Chains A and B, each alone.
Chain A
Amino acid sequence: MKITQISVFLENRKGRLSQVCSMLGQAGINIRALTIAETESFGVLRMVVDKPSEAADLFRKNGITANQTAVVAAEVPDKPGGLAEVLKTLSDSDVNVEYMYGFVEKHSENALLVFRFDNPELAARILRENGLKVIDEKGIQGL
């Protein structure tokens, strides 16, 4: 129940993010969720797109450093304490969240979040066992 995240290495330069996004746009690839982690001199753009393998090919062809990582997308109740509950479940099971971010759109009544875990298989199973809905690749395309 993992999905693919595409990460791109970006230098902190003017217009760089816009170039990468328009490259995806021209190729008809839609960004579903996105976050940027930055340091003083470089950043890492992480995103979930509707066509991950096409996006990876596109970046490779254009000489952009990118990789694919397995992440887990799960529905989290959109109410106060909703996320806290999910995180507690994970930490009780000794699962560590490397980072997380939200989808652009809401999924049904719940918020849809992307989690990066050390062990995505285990984490997805724990989430499901605790009654949370984990979205697969097909589910992403159907958004």
Chain B
Amino acid sequence: MIWNESIETMSLEDLKNIQSDHLTQLCRYVYENCPAYKQKFDAHSISLSDINSIDDIVKLPFTTKMDMRDNYPFGLFSRPRTDLVEIHVSSGTTGNPTLVGYTRDDISLWSEVMARTLCCAGAEPDDTVQIAYGYGLFTGGLGFHYGALEMGLTIIPTSSGQTKRQLKIMQDFKPRILCCTPSYCLYMAEEAKELGIDPRSASWYIGIFGAEPWSEAMRGEIEAAWNMLATDVYGLSEIIGPGVSQECTYKEGLHIYSDVFYPEIIDPETGQAVAEGEDGELVVTTLTKQGIPLIRYRTRDIVSMTTEPCKCGRTSPRVSKIKGRTDDMIVVRGINVFPSQIEHVLLGIEGTQPHYQIVIDRAAHKLDQVEIMVEVDEKIFSDEIKQMSALSAKIKKEIEAVLSIGVKVHLVEPKTIERSMGKSKRVVDKRSL
């Protein structure tokens, strides 16, 4: 079923008219309500009368993660804090985290796009959904929650973790839909087998997986392990959280809700649009958001896009799975990890040179493992094992505090970390994505 048929199957021409109206209003709205945007528009000599159609969007400046950080906490908001009903925070690269906030209408928008998402994946109004994304500051859990509430599904808000209980709940209440990260889904399959549960007999029929990149090969593995349909969901907290785009049951790209989240694919170097179907950076404008609307936000995710009609009847453009990043961010178990965060910690530990390497592996247990290799130089070396072990434990503790995920720390000899062009290779991703 299609949740909002009149919008989701609208002709491209009508869609364009809606987008044009929204963009004109949005520019006036941020210009009048957000001093940071007013300043940005003025600095680029943009007059509101220049923006009359969605095609004029290219005249507008980009918004970046740096803008969010520079204006932390509330500088990029177009509404006072008192109008916000909810805020979410994600870990920042260094220093400030990324803060987003929702007005009551923004929550309605989120509920709407998440209801579209659930339907797009194949949910029916009578369904029960097990939401095993984390609830809390992370947008995953609550985003799905609002969508399911909007649709009137029966929600089981298990949040993440406690695998045994997840499996028992699945067996007892027989939800047809599972929402979690793809790696957690595979991890649960292993756990199920160990507990003597046949994953192929599970009640889960549809999975909505996201918050980390995953491959077609992984989809095959999940579908074979659980005998379910594995679909991909995309989103980022800056735009709304989950609910920016979602695959339909044909699994031929993610439908992006372009009536509210206007997508562009650009060459990250030049900022110019790439030809349809070519790879480029996804840039999104939140056409109707109130709390913290963003204009031409650079997601740094590399994708391609097609406007060809889909067999499912939805007319919204389809975006590919994430093919890469324009920065060095890595996503581990749904958490964004920047090498600079680790650099920061190492620099903070007296005398430690930031020669390090992050190795990510998706080992036998299917959950991503993070290992931090740190080169030991004379400044931090001690002949006493207890000193070295204490150093290793300190690095581990501080990195874990910053990243909010468990890591292993390995002290290694100098020059053992591979260097290319004199610069060490910071990230080795051994996961088969």
- Docked-complex contact B413 and A98, CB < 8 angstroms: no
Flag whether B377 is at the interface (Cβ < 8 A). yes
Flag whether B250 is at the interface (Cβ < 8 A). no
- Docked-complex contact A66 and B378, CB < 8 angstroms: yes
Minimal Cβ-Cβ distance residue in A for B411: A42
A122, chain B: closest CB distance, angstroms? 18
Flag whether A1 is at the interface (Cβ < 8 A). no
Flag whether B385 is at the interface (Cβ < 8 A). yes
Most chain A CB within 10 A, of B377, B381, B383, B410, is at B383
- Docked-complex contact B376 and A9, CB < 8 angstroms: yes
A120, chain B: closest CB distance, angstroms? 13
Distance of A44 Cα from B385 Cα, bound (Å): 7
- Docked-complex contact B381 and A11, CB < 8 angstroms: no
Query: Known interface pairs A39-B388, A42-B388, A44-B388. Does A67 touch B383 (Cβ–Cβ under 8 Å)?
Result: yes
- Choose one: B378, B415, B416; the contact of A67 (CB below 8 Å): B378
- Docked-complex contact A65 and B383, CB < 8 angstroms: no
Q: Which residues between 201 and 254 of chain B lie within 8 Å of chain A, taking CB atoms?
A: none
Flag whether B269 is at the interface (Cβ < 8 A). no
Interface digits, B369-391 against A, CB 8 Å rule (1 contact, 0 not)? 00000001110011111001100
Flag whether A69 is at the interface (Cβ < 8 A). yes
Flag whether A143 is at the interface (Cβ < 8 A). no
Flag whether B192 is at the interface (Cβ < 8 A). no
- Docked-complex contact A9 and B389, CB < 8 angstroms: no
Q: Which residues between 95 and 136 of chain A lie within 8 Å of chain B, taking CB atoms?
A: 98-99, 116
Q: Which residues of B contact A63 (CB under 8 A)?
A: 414-415
Q: Which residues between 1 and 47 of chain A lie within 8 Å of chain B, taking CB atoms?
A: 5, 7, 9-11, 37, 39, 41-42, 44, 46
Flag whether B412 is at the interface (Cβ < 8 A). yes
Distance of A65 Cα from B351 Cα, bound (Å): 14
Q: Which residues of B contact A46 (CB under 8 A)?
A: 383
Q: Which secondary structure dominates where chain B touches chain A? A: loop
Distance of A66 Cα from B428 Cα, bound (Å): 28
Distance of A42 Cα from B413 Cα, bound (Å): 9
- Determine the interface band of chain B, counting residues with CB < 8 A from chain A: 10 to 19
Distance of A11 Cα from B385 Cα, bound (Å): 13
Minimal Cβ-Cβ distance residue in A for B383: A7
B159, chain A: closest CB distance, angstroms? 33
- Choose one: B377, B383, B410, B415; the contact of A44 (CB below 8 Å): B383
Interface digits, B120-137 against A, CB 8 Å rule (1 contact, 0 not)? 000000000000000000
Distance of A39 Cα from B412 Cα, bound (Å): 12
Query: Known interface pairs A39-B388, A42-B388, A63-B415. Does A69 touch B383 (Cβ–Cβ under 8 Å)?
Result: yes
Q: Which residues of A contact B378 (CB under 8 A)?
A: 65-67
Q: Which residues of B contact A5 (CB under 8 A)?
A: 383
Distance of A65 Cα from B352 Cα, bound (Å): 13
- Docked-complex contact B385 and A10, CB < 8 angstroms: no
Query: Known interface pairs A39-B388, A39-B389, A65-B376. Does A11 touch B412 (Cβ–Cβ under 8 Å)?
Result: yes
Distance of A46 Cα from B385 Cα, bound (Å): 11
Q: Which residues of A contact B410 (CB under 8 A)?
A: 41-42
A19, chain B: closest CB distance, angstroms? 11
- Docked-complex contact B385 and A67, CB < 8 angstroms: no
Interface digits, A41-78 against B, CB 8 Å rule (1 contact, 0 not)? 11010100000000000000001111101000000000
A15, chain B: closest CB distance, angstroms? 13
Q: Which residues of B contact A99 (CB under 8 A)?
A: 384
B47, chain A: closest CB distance, angstroms? 61
- Docked-complex contact A67 and B382, CB < 8 angstroms: yes
Q: Which residues of A contact B385 (CB under 8 A)?
A: 37, 39, 44
Residues in chain B within 8 A of chain A (CB atoms): 376-378, 381-385, 388-389, 410-416
Residues in chain A within 8 A of chain B (CB atoms): 5, 7, 9-11, 37, 39, 41-42, 44, 46, 63-67, 69, 98-99, 116
Can you add 9 more A-B contacts, CB < 8 Å, to A39-B385, A63-B414?
A5-B383, A10-B413, A11-B413, A39-B388, A41-B410, A46-B383, A64-B413, A65-B413, A66-B378
Q: List 15 A-B contacts (CB under 8 A).
A: A9-B376, A9-B381, A39-B385, A39-B388, A39-B389, A41-B411, A42-B388, A42-B411, A44-B385, A44-B388, A46-B383, A66-B378, A69-B383, A98-B384, A116-B383
